[in-house]
């Protein structure tokens, strides 16, 4: 298999806290791979190791075939990263933000400007080229950060919760762009706790909690494998004509719309595996 990421027995500790515990996964070229988990599950710690931001405490990690601990600079020059924070330069214009960032990759000035304009077009930001970045809306800033991550024409794009805090419209815009990138063959690694996002974008995903791998597979497979029949107070029934059965159940057992019918979703898988309590 042509793997862009190969993580084996990956481990990350901060003092006594074990953030990532014996995590193994691999991402194939051209694949969109998701890491799902509640807050504090170790998602960010994991991908920070993948983009050579923080050194693993144990295990081995190869990105684009390179050993992350020994060839970090080579890896970093070939990947694109969208961190969780919108760490743009607020004092600079949209275009300047990209041009300044391109210098970190030693991209020549003329080429940097050309690519910046092209990416602003792709991210539907070309009309705001000369706006100060601080004046952009949250969704636009997010797209600017994505454009910035594509400047070095990465072979792997890494996104840490790309749509957290965005309104539905901006979220869909980000998803469309990511789908287009994926269709063009870019490998993508993302973390999320948005189940729609995972089922829409990811070819394959893992769910982690407390630093450990819970499950791995394709979104649809996971749903049918893990949330089959009963779920808490829910009755999940697999029938051809659900609507008729639902009407009957409702008439006989539910007063004033106490029942709801819906399809099982990936969110059911997620909540079933990681529990329902809040993690604050």
Quick note: the x/- pattern for other proteins over 81-120, rule CB under 8 A, is x-x-x-xxxxxx---x---xx-xxxx--------------
Q: Could you say which residues in the range 129-188 bind other proteins, by CB under 8 A?
A: 148, 152
- Cβ 144 vs Cβ 132: under 8 Å: no
Report strand pairing: 58-63 vs 156-160. Answer: unpaired
Burial tier of 276 (Cβ tally within 10 Å: 0-12, 13-18, 19+)? exposed
The yes or no reply on residue 2 touching other proteins (CB under 8 A) is no
Cβ contact 40:279 at 8 Å: yes
**3-state class of 63 per DSSP?**
strand
Please name every residue paired with 6 in a beta bridge, in sequence order, or none if there are none.
26, 62
Please give the residues from 8 up to 37 whose contact with other proteins meets the rule CB under 8 A.
14
Q: How far is the CB of 221 from other proteins (least distance, A)?
A: 32
Closest CB 172 distance from other proteins, rounded Å = 25
51 close to 223: Cβ distance less than 8 angstroms: no
Q: For other proteins, which stretch binds (CB under 8 A), given 66-74, 112-120, 171-179, 270-278? A: 66-74
| Binding segment (CB under 8 A) for other proteins, from list 72-80, 189-197, 216-224, 228-236 | 72-80
φ/ψ region of 15 (left if φ > 0, alpha if ψ in -120 to 50, else beta) reads left
Only one of the segments 45-53, 117-125, 170-178, 184-192 lies at the binding site for other proteins (rule: CB under 8 A); that segment is: 45-53
* Sign of the dihedral defined by the CA atoms of residues 71, 72, 73, 77, in that order: positive
Smallest gap from Cβ 155 to other proteins, in A, equals: 14
Say if residues 41 and 274 touch (Cβ distance below 8 Å). yes
Instruction: Tell me, by CB under 8 A, how many residues bind other proteins.
Output: 30
List of residues contacting other proteins (CB under 8 A): 14, 51-55, 68-69, 72-73, 76-77, 81, 83, 85, 87-92, 96, 100-101, 103-106, 148, 152
């Amino acid at each position: 298999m042509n793997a862009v990421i190969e993580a084996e027995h990956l481990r990350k500790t901060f003092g006594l806290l074990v953030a990532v515990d014996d995590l193994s996964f691999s991402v194939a070229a051209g694949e969109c791979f998701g890491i799902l988990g509640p807050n504090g599950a170790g998602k960010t710690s994991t991908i920070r190791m993948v983009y050579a931001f923080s050194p693993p405490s144990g295990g081995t990690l190869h990105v684009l075939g390179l050993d992350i601990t020994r060839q970090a600079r080579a890896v970093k020059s070939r990947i694109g990263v969208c961190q969780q924070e919108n760490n743009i330069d607020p004092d600079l214009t949209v275009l300047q933000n990209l041009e300044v960032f391109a210098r970190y990759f030693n991209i020549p000035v003329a080429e940097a400007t050309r690519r910046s304009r092209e990416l602003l077009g792709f991210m539907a930001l070309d009309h705001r080229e000369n706006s100060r970045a601080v004046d952009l809306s949250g969704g636009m800033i997010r797209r600017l950060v994505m454009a910035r991550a594509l400047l070095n024409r990465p072979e792997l794009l890494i996104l840490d919760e790309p749509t957290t805090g965005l309104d539905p419209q901006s979220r869909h815009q980000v998803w469309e762009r990511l789908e287009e990138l994926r269709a063009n063959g870019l490998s993508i690694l993302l973390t999320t706790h948005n189940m729609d996002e995972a089922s829409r974008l990811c070819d394959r995903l893992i769910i982690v909690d407390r630093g450990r791998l819970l499950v791995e597979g394709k979104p649809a497979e996971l749903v049918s494998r893990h949330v089959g029949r009963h779920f808490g107070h829910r009755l999940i029934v697999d029938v051809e004509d659900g609507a008729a059965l639902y009407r009957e159940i409702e008439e006989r057992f539910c007063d004033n719309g106490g029942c709801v019918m819906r399809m099982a979703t990936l969110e059911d898988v997620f909540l079933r595996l990681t529990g329902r309590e809040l993690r604050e």
